[in-house]
Amino acid sequence: RKEVEQDPGPFNVPEGATVAFNCTYSNSASQSFFWYRQDCRKEPKLLMSVYSSGNEDGRFTAQLNRASQYISLLIRDSKLSDSATYLCSFGSARQLTFGSGTQLTVLP
């Protein structure tokens, strides 16, 4: 089983749609969880951390399911500017491991 598995997409959704991504991890010792956003030809930037109780930041909601070992990202009311690749990331005591990313395109 891969350390991190992400659906590569692409996800093509119309403006205003709700879209969700999942990301599974195999290392049960993972302690920290993040979603990063990466625009084309740019560096990854932290979108949000993922907390055990779930957390929300505006139109973005992140959830953690430790029992099934996955995290999710929900984007409501999609904007054109949300078009990017979304990378999940898992941290153990010493390092962060990244998924291969899910490509999202929001269409007008």
Partner 1 sequence: EAGVAQSPRYKIIEKRQSVAFWCNPISGHATLYWYQQILGQGPKLLIQFQNNGVVDDSQLPKDRFSAERLKGVDSTLKIQPAKLEDSAVYLCASSSSGGNEKLFFGSGTQLSVL
Tell me the C-alpha distance between 6 and 75, whole Å: 16
* 70 vs 76, beta carbon nearer partner 1: 70
**For the chain, where are the E strands, in sequence order?**
4-6, 11-14, 19-25, 32-38, 45-49, 55-57, 60-65, 70-75, 84-91, 96-98, 102-107
State in angstroms the smallest separation of the CB of 46 from partner 1: 5
Q: Which residues of the shown chain bind partner 1 in the complex (CB under 8 A)?
A: 4, 6, 8, 31-32, 34, 42-46, 49, 87, 91-101
State in angstroms the smallest separation of the CB of 107 from partner 1: 21
Please confirm whether the linkage preceding 10 is cis (ω < 30° from 0): yes
* 18 vs 27, beta carbon nearer partner 1: 27
* 76 vs 100, beta carbon nearer partner 1: 100
